[in-house]
Amino acid sequence: MRKHWLDNLRWVTVLLVLLYHVIYFYNNKGVFGGIGGFGDGPQYQDVMMYILYPWFMPLLFLLAGISARYALEKYPAKDWFKARTRKLLVPGTIGLLVFHWMVGYFNTAVAAKSGVFDGMPGIGRYLMWAVSGTGPLWFIQDLWLFSLILLLIRKLDPENRFHEWCGKLGIVWIILLGVLFWAGEQTLIRNPRPESPDGLLNLYKPVFYLIPFLLGYFVFSHEQVQDRLGRIWIPLLGCAAATGIALIVTTFGQDNTSPQYLGSPLNCLYGWLMCLAMIAWFRTRFDRTSAFAGYMTRSSFGIYIVHYLVIASLGYMMKVYTDLPPVAMYLILGVAVFTLSPLIYEIIRRIPVIRWCVLGEKHKK
């Protein structure tokens, strides 16, 4: 039986990623990426980054871990990993050369104006654009690696004894698993060195994101764990909201993606409580589907894959080539990313070969 709450929570979180990127692209809090904000004064719309960033990507990895458990109960591990490689590794590598180089073109546009690419042959620029176009694809690259690690871990417990034991955890222990959330954040490099891989490691956060993926697989895939959370979804949401308000009030204006910020106990507590609250809420209240929900369940992955081209291209051109007021830029970019991204996805999925390269799909759905 399909778990509609899981599907719904996944595609809703993907839509929140799109919203986050609209705000992030024009942030003035020192967050890496984007094109910068509108002066040095307060940009109160940036509060959306403080609300979403602590939990929405860990939640996606947690949901991926749950889904991996369900899939491996139905399919042989070899077939599952082969499908994961096509769905994740192909778009995260070949897709860069076919589609995401265009994202890289806009990501490096500011550097190009400074003459960084002067004298570089065309093929060199193209490859630089392809690498710079990775953008949000770090998520699927991480996910492919975690899928491989999971298969290795499974071999250590062929009888599934550890998995069964995890299903017995009570609500107190489930909440205390947030200590692992905090421990994962401590693996970030606090003072990344310029011109080193430090910044890249802090972007991919392999140890931190592996933790919710494995927790999803071993703990949260159990229906009894989901039921325990579901019974307290209202208190969980209330506690998460109170913690989030405290975090925002005390830290607004800081770089909310810095290792110091992410590793703070309050940020980790808020992030973990939100992950639990969203699972509990959707498990209890949104375990149903509709025509729109069904479409988003099928399409949210592809929309995620292509959406940043809209952000990078339109966001850059409006900021550099127009005198539009900020509110107009946010509105135009917001409408565009939620309308053009599905359109681009629908076009690409109808083109053979390109569909496989960019979306990892063998056949049109």
Tokens of 31: 């967050």
Domain assignments of the chain as residue spans, ordered by start = 4-32+42-359
Number of C-beta neighbours around residue 278 at 10 A: 24
Q: Which whole-number Å values give the CA distances from 144 to 74, 118, 141, 178, in the listed order? A: 19, 36, 5, 24
Beta bridge partners of 252: 254
**Residue ranges of the chain with per-residue pLDDT less than 70:** 110-116, 363-365
Q: Quick one: which H or E segment has residue 285?
A: helix 265-285
Tokens of 352: 């053979």
Contact predicate 355/348, CB 8 Å: yes
Closest CA to 90 of 140, 46, 136: 140
At residue 108, the pLDDT reads: 86
Three-class secondary structure of residue 246 per DSSP: helix
At residue 31, the pLDDT reads: 83
| Amino acid occupying residue 103 | V
| Amino acid occupying residue 64 | A
At residue 111, the pLDDT reads: 58
Q: Which whole-number Å values give the CA distances from 65 to 54, 70, 130, 216, 296, in the listed order? A: 18, 9, 29, 4, 20
At residue 51, the pLDDT reads: 98
Three-class secondary structure of residue 194 per DSSP: coil
At residue 364, the pLDDT reads: 57
Closest CA to 67 of 138, 131, 6: 6
Contact predicate 259/190, CB 8 Å: yes
Q: How far apart are CA 104 and CA 133, in angstroms?
A: 4
Q: How far apart are CA 280 and CA 233, in angstroms?
A: 5
Q: How far apart are CA 76 and CA 81, in angstroms?
A: 9
At residue 109, the pLDDT reads: 82
Closest CA to 10 of 53, 65, 54, 51: 65
At residue 112, the pLDDT reads: 65
Please state the φ and ψ torsions of residue 187, each to the nearest 5 degrees.
-80, -5
Three-class secondary structure of residue 106 per DSSP: helix
Average pLDDT, the chain: 94
